[in-house]
Amino acid sequence: MILAVPHEDDSDERRVALVPETVSRLAKSGVTVRIQRGAGAQAAFLDDAYEKAGATLVADLAELTRDADAVATVGRPSEALLATLEPGTVVVGFLHPLGDPEYVKRLAAAGVTAMAVELIPRITRAQSMDALSSQSNIAGYKAVLLAAAALPKFFPMLTTAAGTIPPAKALILGAGVAGLQAIATARRLGAVVSGYDVRAVVKEQVQSLGATFLEFDLGADAEASGGYAKELTPEQQERQRVWMVEQIGANDVVITTALVPGRRAPVLVSEDAVAAMKPGSVIVDLAAEAGGNCALTVPGETIVSPNGVTIIGTTNLAGTLPYHASQLYSRNLFALLSPMVKDGALVLDPEDEIVEGCCIVRDGNVLLGGSPS
């Protein structure tokens, strides 16, 4: 079986789908890994290390994918890459299929079989494959570092000869994987941290990290099946917005991580809330890519509001820590793909819950949601 790893198409993407450690593990399972030259360089994985791990290094894209059974990427494969693939080749990566049926149709037109890692079901057996979690964890950590660097204040309380410095106050909105890591990181830096989520079930997790859980009565727990959040009703959203203005105004740092899969991110930080914050305060919006949790966020940019609040809308925060982001993602891919390697071939069992969940195109047929459309 041949597994090909191209250089990522997006010039801002520093991650690579497979790292040398995984290449040698795959080689032991009889998988030949081909890596496009320089694919790991921006993540600090050089061609030499891949060669030592047993990979074949290839410069040309068509040569990379010739007779390949599978292609692993971080982001969406480029049109140029798709054009080189034989029908039936398995493509695996963050394909962002939700809300973009045109793109899914393009994958189908290429005749490939496509697995979207963000749709891997969050069942116990799939925990080691959970690429959304491994990358969110990194984003939550990095968001706090960005906030600490931008804040014109210390995070920790300091007692100095020149007097005492009070600790910074940080509010984390959304306490999923990224939010919990942000809470833990902000606590380690010494801030006084509070967390909020519509899912009441996370209260204990927030408290166990030493943060206060903010409670606002929505009328009913807003958790849907599968561990994800439901969308709130317009009335619930308005009440939440007004309450939120007060909470946000009392903090130096707000890190927002609230997402509802397949939908625009909810706006939790209104213009009024930004106006209620003190000059010099910092908002890091981890939902920038999904439209933003802050009304003023500009995806991909850092702006300063008229009252002096820095709003950081950096997208792909996981990609700014490319070494460990690639390492963890690569391990996720190994956990996903290695059980499917049988007698030197990649065998996708359509009855398997994991394959059913993440396989969006099978041999050119659209299957999004597990059923043909």
Number of neighbouring beta carbons within 10 Å of residue 235: 10
CA distances from 280 to 127, 153, 181 (A): 39, 8, 24
Residue of 8, 13, 69, 197 that binds ligand NAD (CB under 6 A): 197
Q: Which of 66, 106, 122, 239 is catalytic?
A: 122
3-state secondary structure of 291: coil
Q: Respond yes or no: is residue 29 known to be catalytic.
A: no
- Pick the binder of ligand NAD from 69, 130, 252, 285 (CB under 6 A): 130
The smaller minimum CB distance to ligand NAD, of residues 233 and 365, is found at 233
Contact with ligand NAD (CB under 6 A) among 199, 247, 310, 327:
199
Q: Which is the catalytic residue, given 42, 69, 76, 130?
A: 130
- Gap between the Cα atoms of 228 and 202, Å rounded: 12
**Among 38, 42, 132, 48, CA closest to 93:** 132
Q: List the beta strands (DSSP E) in 139-296.
A: 158-160, 163-165, 169-173, 192-196, 212-213, 253-256, 282-285
Cβ of residue 65: shortest distance to ligand NAD, in angstroms?
31
**Integer Cα distance of 293 and 300 in angstroms:** 14
Residue 132 in the binding site for ligand NAD (CB under 6 A)? yes
Per rule CB under 6 A, count of chain residues that contact ligand NAD: 28
Q: Is 130 annotated as catalytic? A: yes
CB of 97 to ligand NAD, least distance (A): 16
Among the options 29, 60, 125, 127, which is catalytic? 127
Binding pattern for the stretch 214-233 against ligand NAD, x by CB under 6 A and - elsewhere:
-------------xxx--x-
Are 144 and 169 in contact by the 8 Å Cβ rule? The answer is: no
Instruction: Report whether 259 contacts 273 (CB < 8 A).
Output: no
Positive or negative: CA dihedral 38, 21, 8, 328: negative
Angle at 225 between CA 179 and CA 123, to 5 degrees: 75
Q: Which is nearer to ligand NAD, 197 or 285 (CB)?
A: 197
Q: Which of 228, 241, 270, 323 is catalytic?
A: 228
268 makes contact with ligand NAD (CB under 6 A) = yes
Smallest distance from the beta carbon of 98 to ligand NAD, in angstroms? Answer: 12
- Under the criterion CB under 6 A, does residue 285 sit at the interface with ligand NAD? no
Residue 47 annotated in active site: no
Applying CB under 6 A, among 58, 143, 173, 193 the residue interacting with ligand NAD is: 173
228 is catalytic: yes
Out of 40, 77, 93, 266, which residue is the one contacting ligand NAD (CB under 6 A)?
A: 266
Tell me the window of 16-24, 49-57, 258-266, 296-304 that interacts with ligand NAD (CB under 6 A): 258-266
Which one among 89, 194, 251, 257 touches ligand NAD, defined by CB under 6 A?
A: 257
Q: Is 175 in the site for ligand NAD (CB under 6 A)?
A: yes
Scanning the structure block, which residue is given the tokens 């106050």? 169
Pick from 289, 329, 325, 316: nearest CA to 117: 329
Contact predicate 71/85, CB 8 Å: yes
Which backbone phi and psi does 230 adopt, to 5 degrees? -90, 165
User: Is 62 strand, coil or helix?
Assistant: helix
133 flagged as catalytic: yes
Q: Is 184 in the site for ligand NAD (CB under 6 A)?
A: no
From CA 7, how far away is CA 41, in angstroms rounded? 9
Under rule CB under 6 A, residue 198 binds ligand NAD: yes
Q: Among all residues, which ones are annotated catalytic? A: 122, 127, 130, 133, 228
Return residues touching ligand NAD (CB under 6 A).
Answer: 122, 127, 130, 132-133, 136, 173-179, 196-199, 227-229, 232, 257-261, 266, 268
